[in-house]
Amino acid sequence: MHNGPLFKTDNRSIVSKGPEDRKRAKRPKTRSGCRTCKIRRVKCDETRPNCRRCVTTGRVCDGYDTAEAEACVAVEGSSVPKPLPGIFTSLKEHRAFYYYLERTSREVSGIYEYEFWNHIIIQATYKDPAIRYAVVALGSLHEDYSKTGEAERTEDDFALQQYSLAIRKHLDKLSSPTSGVSNVDSYVASCLIFLCIELIQGHYLSALSLIKGAPAEILELIVGRLQSQATGLLSPSVVGQTAPPRHDDISQLQMPERFQSVAEAKQHLECYNNTHILYTSALKRPYDLHLLSLRMYKDKLASWTSAFDDMLASVEMTTSERRAANVLRVWQLMIGGSIEIKMKYSSVHDDQTLYDLYDTRFGEVIGLAESVLSETDKDAKSPGTIKYRFTLDFSLVGPLYDTARSCRDPVIRRKAIHLLRAYPCREGLWDGLLAASSAERQVELEEEASMADITSSADVPGWARISIALPTFQIGQRWTTVLYTRQQPLDGSKPLQFQETIEW
């Protein structure tokens, strides 16, 4: 782990030099380096998708200018570099591989898992046929998804043919007498690519089966992230029984006095959040939580926040790192508010009106999200146009969905829904367009039941508020049945439940 500032001061001499000393040989300037090297004014080795100069020094490579990237992957044309001899047998395979290389690997990984997706996976394609076929399938599906929001089958089912070949080669590898510990990395890589292929097609149940069978000791962070998403999104009967953490497991997570990088802060916050969600979801109701456990979680989050704030005040960051830091701030605000609300209704039934106390915080979340998404849009080929994104990283879909559902301020919750639609993204199991449709319907149901003009959160009465919205997915379909539950009545009677079908 990088133990110092991400950027060090260049200790150049300030001694005055004569005219002869100031003369330099004129060389043609190159403008094709990555953004990070350009800012630092150092020579870039131009390795794609992330230059080795940035990677080997612990920096985040901000990538290349869009026009330069398009020159390497002409997704609308045919000017793709010549196929690598002995690796790909057709232009379709070669095109899909380069799409993965230039687009998919960066988008799926976010900015802190690129070493795996951009280097380890790409190197493995040269020696493992299962991974090679899977990468080609994912690249092809991702290109379709980025244009339409759906990973539609091509006329000759090219991507699915590649996927079938990948599965066949993977099974052959597992049945081989030489299969064993030496193939663990290959097994993990294949499983993760298969997981992406299922998720990008919207096959959530198939993805869940892969998550359950994944080696958690190797993929702890990614598996924990997806398990947490599944817990908040699907019913226990679909997710399956997961051994919940003990209430005191959070005490084992040690927070430093100051994080050395945004990557370190993200890793700690995600471990914390996964433990928190899996623990609370194992309890029958939120108010069954013990106050002692809640205080432990609150204190641990305060330690994380202190280390995070100290880092922000002392570490110079790139544009990508600043965006990532804003995403972490959004999560910190949402998690902190959730814990405080649970502490307030530990002895009270599900009182949705408690969320009204956090309208200011919800507004801050929207402001940060708008900043992050607008900066992301500037990096797109055509800023302002809809581009569907897919990633395994955790970002803003969850917080925006929770804001639209829990904040009853009509302006704030509609801004959250607008952002989900304006910047459509599928983050693992979370689909932004589905989240927008589900939240939009909840807004309609609550405001119609209120039978009044809604100008503030207080105008939505407690009895009209929906506390749970649980979807049931249909494989390969862009519709779901959602079971809605209104909040627990004060007289202790059974909450009102009803279901509807939502398309997105």
Q: What is the pLDDT of residues 222-247, one digit of tens each?
A: 767 777 777 655 544 444 444 444 54
Q: How confident is the model at residue 21 (pLDDT cuts 50, 70, 90)?
A: very low
> Taking Cα atoms as reference points, which of 483, 374, 475, 357 lies closest to residue 409?
357
The yes-or-no verdict on residue 98 having pLDDT over 50 is yes
Side-by-side strand order, sheet with 389-391:
389-391, 425-427, 430-431
Of 285 and 120, more confident: 120
255: which residues sit within 8 A by CB, 6+ positions away? 268, 300, 303, 304, 307
Question: Is residue 323 pLDDT above 50, yes or no?
Answer: yes
Report helix angle 184-200 to 129-148, nearest 10. Answer: 20
- E strand or H helix at 470: strand 466-473
Position 155 scores a pLDDT of 52
The label of the residue with tokens 């503030």 reads 456
Q: What is the pLDDT of residues 65-79, one digit of tens each?
A: 644 444 344 444 434
Task: Quote the pLDDT of residue 288.
Answer: 55
Residue 281 has pLDDT above 90, yes or no: no
What average pLDDT score do residues 465-486 get?
75
In this predicted model, which residue has the larger pLDDT, 80 or 392? 392
Residue range 330-382, pLDDT digits in tens? 999 999 998 898 888 755 567 889 999 999 999 999 999 999 998 876 665 55
Which pLDDT score, from 0 to 100, does residue 84 have? 54
Please tell me which of 78-92, 138-152, 202-216 the model is most confident about, judged by mean pLDDT: 138-152
Q: Which candidate, 236, 239, 200, places its Cα nearest to that of 223?
A: 239
| Contact criterion met (CB below 8 Å) for 328 and 335 | no
Q: Does the pLDDT of residue 134 top 90, yes or no?
A: yes
From CA 365, how far away is CA 416, in angstroms rounded? 9
Residue 155, token pair as written in the block? 């006329």
Q: Which pLDDT score is estimated for 403?
A: 97
> Among residues of the chain, what percentage have pLDDT more than 70?
69
**13 pLDDT above the threshold of 50:** no
At 343, list the tokens: 């502490």
Q: Where are the alpha helices (DSSP H) in 345-465?
A: 359-378, 397-406, 410-422, 432-450
Question: Does the pLDDT value for residue 305 go beyond 90?
Answer: yes
| Of residues 203, 303, 209, the one with CA closest to residue 256 | 303
| Residue 28 pLDDT class (50, 70, 90 cuts) | very low
pLDDT at 239: 46
**Residue 473 forms beta bridges with which residues?**
480
Average pLDDT, the chain: 77
Nearest to 80 by CA among 61, 64, 100: 100
Task: Give 474's contacts (C-beta < 8 A, 6+ positions apart).
Answer: 480, 481
pLDDT for residue 4: 34
Query: Looking at residues 7-32, what average pLDDT do you find?
Result: 39
Give the mean pLDDT of 132-147: 92
pLDDT for 167: 93
For the stretch 437-468, pLDDT in tens is: 989 999 999 999 888 899 999 999 988 999 88
Mean per-residue pLDDT for 52-65?
73
Q: So what's the pLDDT on residue 90?
A: 85
**Which of these, 253, 242, 333, lies nearest to 279 by C-alpha position?**
242
Q: Residue 2: which pLDDT band, with cuts at 50, 70 and 90?
A: very low
Task: Please identify which residue in the block is written with the tokens 């094709």.
Answer: 32
Answer yes or no: is pLDDT of 7 > 70: no
Domain ranges of the chain: 29-67, 73-200, 205-243, 244-317
pLDDT value at position 487? 67
CA–CA distances in Å: residue 95 to residues 142, 232, 233: 12, 37, 35
**DSSP structural state of residue 462:** G
Which pLDDT does position 414 carry in this prediction? Answer: 97
Domain 29-67 matching CATH 3.20.20: the answer reads no
Can you give the pLDDT at residue 326? 96
